[in-house]
Structure 1
Amino acid sequence: MPDVNGSRRTYHSPVRAEAARRTRQAIVAAAAELFVERGYGAASLRDVARVAGVARPTVAAAFGSKPALLRQVLDEALAGDDEPVPVAQRPWFAPVWQATDPGAVLDAYAEVCTLIGRRAARIFEVVHQGAGDAAEVGGLWTMLTRNRRAGAEMVARHTAETGPLRPGLAMDQAIDHLWILNNPAHYADLVLERHWPEHDFRQWLAHQMRAGLLGPDHL
């Protein structure tokens, strides 16, 4: 509607915005279910729309393409919601930054990796399997791999700031240790496949991180 100066005012409806968000959430949930159940290639946008209870054009209008939808599913699995807040700034990551000695940093990071594994291990595998079949998924897998190493670097450097690493360990090696261990595939193999209790997995992961970065005196 034009204002008194003849220009148009932007109309914002909180009810409409919340309805749109609920629709997006339903689409993401349906896509996550189908991608895990069928794989990326076999799950069509039409199938996603059917499971979400919306029209196919609604899916396309909300996300644009299947690769973009996969990226959103992945982002929400990693973060836990659709808020645009980086993982390292999430409240559940805060114990890593708040820890005051190297062992406590790594214990907190093992907790973070366990949480991420619980939420994202299955969709990580979807991306991994789809990377060889679709170039856009291959690019997403490359980005995931780089982001995991960037996260490992942040934590390794923070660990070193709170106390010494084991003698003779170069920073690049410390980062590589955490980069290998923060892979959600470990959660998939040990918790989802071998049915380890999460508590046991978290303890194992913290033990491996301490052994790699700090040495036997910190186990």
Structure 2
Amino acid sequence: MLNVVKDQEPKRRYQSRLREDGTRRTRQAIVAAAGELFVANGYVATSLADIAVAAGVARPTVFAAFGSKPALLREVLDQALAGDDAPVPVADRPWFKPVWDATTQAAVLDAYAQVCVLIGGRAAALFETVRRAADAAPEVTELWDTLQANRRAGARMVVERLRSTGPLRPGLDGERAVDVMWLLNDPAHYSAMVQRCDWPADSFRDWLAGVMRDALLPR
């Protein structure tokens, strides 16, 4: 009997991994479909049934995976901001590391401008989708407020990093600097200049870094 149990345990673990992989692939298919439909058709006009059809799953599967449309929208945004579904904060991501590694104020802002480009490319359209939905769907208003608060927290983190490497522009206190950075890290700028005006992403990054330097650093 002991030999039988030992022989079956690896098989059960293998089957468990297969189920976990299948569940993750299903979730990712739903997230991808939802992101495309939310941007193309708007949050309000997109139903869980629409998302299920696009993802190739049943509607109850979408509900079982995420519970509600607002929760699914939040997951779509989280993955767009982070780049994947791993539970790792943005500040701990490898692509944010250059901000921490920079040794001069200009290098900090150059690195953060690149972060803004990465996030804008992945999430600018979704930010606009949420902004519009917040006017028509009360359940999205809290998410929009959270996005704004998170952007401000990110701005504060970078300003603190900036102040650790040198002084701010004369007459600019910490809170006002956070205000300025919060304004400049808005993905709407990426949307306007890259997606609407057809600027190359590198040109936008260089422009944004220059604006940040002019606004925040001593001349």
Quickly name the TM-score band, shorter chain normalised: over 0.9
Residues 25-73 of structure 1: CA deviation (Å, up to 9, x unaligned): 0000000000000000000000000000000000000000000000000
Distance 1:101 1:149 in 2: 22
Task: After the TM superposition, list the runs of 4 or more consecutive aligned residues in structure 1 that deviate by more than 4 angstroms.
Answer: none
Q: C-alpha distance in 2, partners of 1:117/1:78?
A: 9
Which residue does 2:131 correspond to in 1? 128
Deviation at 1:18, TM superposition (A): 0.3
Matched letter for residue 98 of structure 1: D
Match of 1:86 among 86, 89, 97: 89
Q: How far is the alpha carbon of 1:136 from its aligned partner?
A: 1.5
* In the alignment, structure 1 residue 211 sits paired with structure 2 residue 197: no
The corresponding residue for 2:70 is 67
2:156 corresponds, among 153, 156, 172, to 153
The DSSP-based 3-state class of the residue aligned with 2:169 is coil
Structure 2 regions of 5+ residues with no counterpart? 6-11
Structure 1 runs not aligned, ≥5 long: 5-10
- Structure 2 SS opposite 1:168: coil
200-209 or 163-172, larger mean C-alpha shift: 163-172
| Matching of residues 39-118 of structure 1 within 5 Å | 39-118=42-121
1:135 offset after TM fit, Å? 1.4
Identity within the alignment, %: 62
Q: CA deviation at 1:23?
A: 0.2
SS of the aligned residue for 1:74 comes to helix
Report the counterpart of residue 7 of structure 1 in structure 2: none
What RMSD, in angstroms, separates the aligned Cα atoms of the two structures? 1.1
When normalised by structure 1's length, the TM-score is 0.93
Once residues 139 and 96 of structure 2 are traced to their aligned partners in structure 1, the CA distance between those partners, rounded to angstroms, is 29
The alpha carbon displacement at 1:184 in A equals 0.2
Q: Which has the higher helix share?
A: 2
The amino acid that maps onto 2:91 is A
TM-superposition CA deviations, 1:80-120 (whole Å, max 9, x none): 00001110110100000111111110110000000000000
Count residues with an aligned counterpart. Answer: 207
Equivalent runs, 1:140-219 vs 2, <5 Å: 140-215=143-218, 217=219
- Counterpart in 2 of 1:38? 41
Q: 2: CA distance between counterparts of 1:169 and 1:157?
A: 13
Structure 2 length normalisation: TM-score?
0.93
What is the alpha-carbon distance in structure 2 between the residues aligned to residue 208 and residue 179 of structure 1?
13
